[in-house]
């Protein structure tokens, strides 16, 4: 009535364990699949586990039929679980000896723990790996560098801007931090529009679309990120502090009452034409352009004119073959297909905002997606700072970054104090930083 019992969730989890333990293998070799009972005896049925319930129609109607056309002996079923419950569901299923044949892989630490538990087949030496750069494969590898999942898609982060407002105020797209701040100041001085559509109520996006997007130029992308992971760099180093200072410089340009504005409020502020710039992820492409707004996109500013450009490319998902699968050969066949341009082009164009991680360039039919993809050219790519290894303990680095960024905007916590707090939290459990 008033509330859920915490134990209700446990009931669900316990029930999942019970049923998965009692149920026969969840990977039936021959089932009818509903439509064609005559051919049922021939087909190998695979299940593909995923956390994206919203993609069901796309997989069932577009992608899987394309695969089954060229592979008539394999029938793939898309089996999605709610995003928030996906990790726990997969864990209880696979631990119980069942689960899907193909597991969608979370990046970094979650997947690393799954690799450790032996959930996946090793992919080392398989030709399908050749379609990807090491940076794209690393999020799904173990400490020894063995590969377990094949990358499907990544998301990017940048700045959407309202072209009409820029034209009205006579503004140029900024390329350096100095120009960026000058543009913000001009919009503010004009007074008609909010310069930055940013609210701090949802702290995740302060990190993912804010600091992790504008910061790599200061901590030099992979150099700084790997340095933190290896323990050769500290969050309190000047490179990182400068990044936090660049983030703090946003504060004067936020809308009123930003402390309680949520992510949808930000998008709305921008799409209503009341704000000029929206720092956001590529996944929001459809929403920002929904009102026929004249939208462009630019990448994070460089430190100095002509300096190196950096762009956040966040590996979002990959697919691996379950070690418990009874149809590994068929599952590998499907996996190899996901590395082909046929699949990638189908996938990224059905889901604008998601980008292929393969070496071979892919054409995007969505103009905004194409200009987002163009930002990758000549830029150094780097994933989100806090998600690899640094968040596999308590306190998780990533969660702490969210928290201190929110405090920087809401309570004027200084960049120095923020980085000191982060370093202290990290050093409390992360051995390379001790």
> What are the residues binding other proteins (CB under 8 A)?
1-7, 9-11, 13-15, 84-85, 87-88, 91, 95, 109-110, 113, 116-118, 199-204, 255-262, 265, 269, 386-387, 391-392, 394-399, 401-403, 406-407, 410-411, 425, 428
DSSP category for residue 60: I
Distance CA 283, CA 154 (A): 10
CB of 366 to other proteins, least distance (A): 26
Give CA angle at 136 (27, 296), nearest 5°: 110
Per-position b or e across 229-250, b if 16+ CB within 10 A of its CB: beeebbbebebbbbbbbbbbeb
d(CA 131, CA 155): 18
- CB of 411: closest distance to other proteins in angstroms? 8
Complex with other proteins: residue 48 or 90, whichever CB lies closer: 90
Q: Taking the complex as a whole, how short is the minimal distance between the CB of residue 292 and other proteins, in angstroms?
A: 21
Our CB check for other proteins shows the closer of 177 and 423 to be 423
Q: What are phi and psi of 400, to 5 degrees?
A: -70, -35
What's the CA gap between 387 and 99, in Å, rounded?
26
Nearer to other proteins, 109 or 280 (CB): 109
- Alpha helix segments (H runs only) across 351-396: 367-374
End-to-end CA distance of the chain: 48
Place of tokens 């950096």: 310
With respect to other proteins, which residue has the nearer C-beta, 117 or 359? Answer: 117
Least distance CB 373 / other proteins (angstroms): 25
Q: Write phi, then psi, for 365 (nearest 5 degrees).
A: -80, -25
- Closest to other proteins by CB, 59 or 253: 253
Q: Are 151 and 136 in contact (CB under 8 A)?
A: yes
CA atoms within 13 A on the CB side of 125: 2
Of 348, 346, 349, the residue nearest 154 (C-alpha): 348
* Smaller CB separation from other proteins, 200 or 302: 200
Provide, rounded to whole angstroms, the least separation between the CB of residue 159 and other proteins: 20
Which residues, other chains included, contact 25 with Cβ-Cβ below 8 Å and sequence gap of 6+? 97, 98, 326
Minimum CB distance to other proteins, residue 127 (Å): 30
Distance CA 243, CA 235 (A): 10
User: How many CA atoms, within 13 angstroms, populate the side-chain half-sphere of residue 136?
Assistant: 22
Nearer to other proteins, 177 or 406 (CB): 406
Minimum CB separation of residue 228 from other proteins in Å reads: 15
Q: Would you say 4 or 144 has its CB closer to other proteins?
A: 4
* Phi and psi torsions of 151, nearest 5°: -60, 135
Query: What is the smallest separation between the CB atom of 116 and other proteins, expressed in angstroms?
Result: 7
At CA 398, angle to CA 394 and CA 399, rounded to 5? 70
Nearer to other proteins by Cβ, of 189 and 411: the residue is 411
CA distance 126 to 110: 23
Least distance from other proteins to the Cβ atom of residue 43, Å = 33
| Residue whose CB is less far from other proteins, 113 or 371 | 113
CB of 390 to other proteins, least distance (A): 9
Neighbours of 205 (CB within 10 A): 22
């Amino acid at each position: 009535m008033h509330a859920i019992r915490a134990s209700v969730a446990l009931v669900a989890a316990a029930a999942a364990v019970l049923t998965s333990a009692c149920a026969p293998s969840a990977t039936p070799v021959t089932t009818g699949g509903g439509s064609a009972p005559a051919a049922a005896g021939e087909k190998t049925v695979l299940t593909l586990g995923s956390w994206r319930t919203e993609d069901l129609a796309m997989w069932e109607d577009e992608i899987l039929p394309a695969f089954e056309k060229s592979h008539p002996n394999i029938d793939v079923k898309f089996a999605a679980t709610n995003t928030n419950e996906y990790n726990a569901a997969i864990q209880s299923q696979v631990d119980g000896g069942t689960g899907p044949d193909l597991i969608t892989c979370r990046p970094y630490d979650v997947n690393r723990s799954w690799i450790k538990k032996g959930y996946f087949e090793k992919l080392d030496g398989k030709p399908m790996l050749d379609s990807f750069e090491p940076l794209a494969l690393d999020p799904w590898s173990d400490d020894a560098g063995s590969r377990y999942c094949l990358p499907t898609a990544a998301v990017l982060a940048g700045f959407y801007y309202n072209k009409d407002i820029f034209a009205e105020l006579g503004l140029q797209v900024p390329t350096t931090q100095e120009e960026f701040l000058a543009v913000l100041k001009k919009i503010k001085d004009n007074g008609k529009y909010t310069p930055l559509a940013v609210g701090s109520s949802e702290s995740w996006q302060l990190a993912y679309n804010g600091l992790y997007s504008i910061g790599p130029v200061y901590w030099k992308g992979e150099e700084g990120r790997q340095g933190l992971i290896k323990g050769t760099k500290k969050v309190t180093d000047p490179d990182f502090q400068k990044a936090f200072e660049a983030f703090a410089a946003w504060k004067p340009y936020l809308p009123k009452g930003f402390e309680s504005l949520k992510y949808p409020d930000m998008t709305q502020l921008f799409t209503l034409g009341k704000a000029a710039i929206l720092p956001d992820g590529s996944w929001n492409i459809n929403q920002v352009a929904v009102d026929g707004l004249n939208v462009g996109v630019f990448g994070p500013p460089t430190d100095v004119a002509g300096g190196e450009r950096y762009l956040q490319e966040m590996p979002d998902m990959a697919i691996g073959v379950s070690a418990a699968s009874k149809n590994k050969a068929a599952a590998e066949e499907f996996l190899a297909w996901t590395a082909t341009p046929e699949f990638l082009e189908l996938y990224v164009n059905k889901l604008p905002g998601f980008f292929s991680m393969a070496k071979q360039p892919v054409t995007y039919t969505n103009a905004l997606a194409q200009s987002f993809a163009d930002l990758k050219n000549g830029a150094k790519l780097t994933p989100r700072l806090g998600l690899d290894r640094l968040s596999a303990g308590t306190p998780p680095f990533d969660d702490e970054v969210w928290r201190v960024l929110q405090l920087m905007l809401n309570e004027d916590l200084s960049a120095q104090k923020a980085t000191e707090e982060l370093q202290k939290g990290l050093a409390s459990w992360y051995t390379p930083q001790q």
